[in-house]
A and B are shown apart, each in its own frame.
Chain A
Amino acid sequence: MIATETSTSGERQAGDTAAWDVARVREDFPVLGQTVNGKPLVYLDNAASSQVPQVVIDRGGRYLREEHSNIHRGVHYLSQRATTAYEGAREKVRRFINARESRECIFVRGCTEGINLVMHGYGRKFVTAGDEIIVSAMEHHANIVPWQMLCEEKGATLRVIPMNDAGELLLDEYEALLNERTKLVAVMHVSNALGTINPIKEIVARAHKQGVPVLVDGAQGAPHLSIDVQDLDADFYIISGHKMFAPTGSGVVYGKAELLERMNPFLGGGDMIRTVTFEKTTYAGLPNKFEAGTPAIASQIGLGAAIDYLNGIDRAAAHAYEHELLAYATEKLSEIEGVRIVGTAREKVGALSFIIEDVHPHDVGTILDQEGIAIRAGHHCAQPVMKRFNVPATARASFAFYNTKEEIDTLASAVQKVIEVFS
């Protein structure tokens, strides 16, 4: 059965036992039912983009069928409905990450745009020559390149928190990097390439001791962990909707109001202004100041629906189940001779990177695809991580709560097959 808008999986879950009913959850995701190359699809590329449940598809469809209009500008019926739905999604995001106020949740198209928003709004305003910005050795290019561009423009310096061979950040080295020239720390919550969960609370606390704000790239955190931005005390927390069961084109920059107020706007245009004359423009308040132009309305409403979906399932059970999947996959692949796991941090979630001796990850990806298995092969937009581990690329299986142990068995036997082809 595929869930409809009125029958969310939350309601159906109500009478359930504590165990995770994966078969039932899979029914919520229509894409999972198909075959690929004659085999049942095994979708293990969730870190790149997750699948979308029927309720989210339906919500986007309903917007397009019944509510489509531009937001914030019409007095007419449809515009008000669209605005209500869009702002409703913002409130859902606020609760989901426990922000104080919904105006602290800026809608953007995704994590990349979000980080660039902070680079332009905060970085270009407050960073000057001689300043330093700290990132970590495991960052996604999206959390490296904008800061490099800023450093180049301002004559500032990028400092890098190193990691150990397991893929864990070295906090003492981090502490040593913090100084009075540090203007921002930008780190990921969960590594897309290694699966490492970083100790964000600790990282934030140490930065705050020196009065330095922290941006957290939450692209891989939001789908797998419960996020409480006040508890983390993060100054910015950035999310991509398409990695947490919403459509592409949705995303969030959470920022503390006090910081967002002091920042420059990002894009200039309609919706972000209070008054415009040819002499001077004054900017709108939060969040509109950062939302110039017509946004991806349907996608952001979809993000709201995805959050509803997540609220409707037993998230604690889902998280526990995801841990079990990762542990099972790690065990299964480690058993195979010639396979090496890249990223063996104690705290991991979501992603399992591996290499097969003498076989390039692209060849692994192609052969697995023939078995209906979708994984990612490449550098995962984290070339410095590949260099750190001395590999050109890795194969990466990444999990969501709708994956099964049987799928991991299929993965393991396909990996065996790869080894046979290349032996």
Chain B
Amino acid sequence: MSELSELYQQVILDHNKKPRNFRKLETANRHADGFNPLCGDQLTVYMQLEDDRIADVSFEGSGCAISKASASMMTQSVKGKTREEVETLFSEFHRMVTGELDEEATPNNLGRLTIFAGVREFPARVKCASLSWHTLHAALAGEDTTTTENLGPDITSDQVSA
């Protein structure tokens, strides 16, 4: 059960139960919908972008514990950051959950988000963790929908060699 308790850590369970910034953002000037057609997960990310900086961000939607907690923690960690900082974070997060980035060996900006490193042991769940990030990315790019289908396979390096 160690990999499992790695995945469902208390912090993740807590964010699942009480997601932060879980609401529609009235001051939003950008938003995007994300779908995972495989499992039916669906969420909307709202953002108030001011001079290339995320002044405020929120989300709504339904999904599993991993996707909800990931969205919740994402909103906390990108608030106040510039577009460039967010893109870096997105890339690091994505590489961490697909097993391309060793967050312990390589300096990075992930901070508390490293709690999602355990997801890479569960290839079927990588998309759950990254859906909110892909959606945020789409909102930043000015697109209004994204689906995990269009994003290429979120497979881990393990899976490729298997």
Interface residue ranges, A against B (CB under 8 Å): 359-363, 366-367, 370, 377-379, 383, 386, 392-393, 421-422
- Tally the A-B contacts, defined by beta carbons under 8 Å: 44
Return the CB mask of B37-65 against A: 1 if under 8 Å, else 0.
01111000000000000000000001111
19 pairs across A/B with beta carbons < 8 Å?
Answer: A360-B64, A360-B65, A362-B125, A362-B128, A363-B8, A363-B64, A363-B65, A366-B4, A366-B7, A366-B124, A367-B8, A370-B4, A377-B39, A378-B39, A378-B40, A386-B40, A392-B41, A393-B40, A421-B4
Interface status of B1 (Cβ within 8 A of chain A): yes
Residues of B contacting A379 in the complex (Cβ-Cβ under 8 angstroms) = 39-40
Smallest CB separation, A225 vs chain B (Å): 29
Interface status of B66 (Cβ within 8 A of chain A): yes
A360:B63 contact, CB within 8 angstroms = yes
How many residues of B are in contact with the other chain, CB < 8 A?
19
Interface status of B13 (Cβ within 8 A of chain A): yes
A370:B65 contact, CB within 8 angstroms = no
Instruction: Find residues 102-128 in chain B having any chain A CB closer than 8 Å to their own CB.
Output: 122, 124-125, 128
A363:B39 contact, CB within 8 angstroms = no
What residue in chain A is nearest B5 (Cβ atoms)? Answer: A421
Interface status of B26 (Cβ within 8 A of chain A): no
Interface status of B3 (Cβ within 8 A of chain A): yes
What residue in chain B is nearest A423 (Cβ atoms)? Answer: B13
What residue in chain A is nearest B42 (Cβ atoms)? Answer: A392
Complex CA distance for A383 and B38, rounded to whole angstroms: 11
Residues of B contacting A362 in the complex (Cβ-Cβ under 8 angstroms) = 39, 64, 66, 125, 128
Residues of A contacting B41 in the complex (Cβ-Cβ under 8 angstroms) = 392
Smallest CB separation, B120 vs chain A (Å): 13
B8:A392 contact, CB within 8 angstroms = no
What residue in chain B is nearest A365 (Cβ atoms)? Answer: B124
B40:A392 contact, CB within 8 angstroms = yes
A378:B122 contact, CB within 8 angstroms = no
B122:A366 contact, CB within 8 angstroms = yes
Residues of B contacting A366 in the complex (Cβ-Cβ under 8 angstroms) = 4, 7, 122, 124-125
Complex CA distance for A370 and B13, rounded to whole angstroms: 18
Complex CA distance for A393 and B65, rounded to whole angstroms: 13
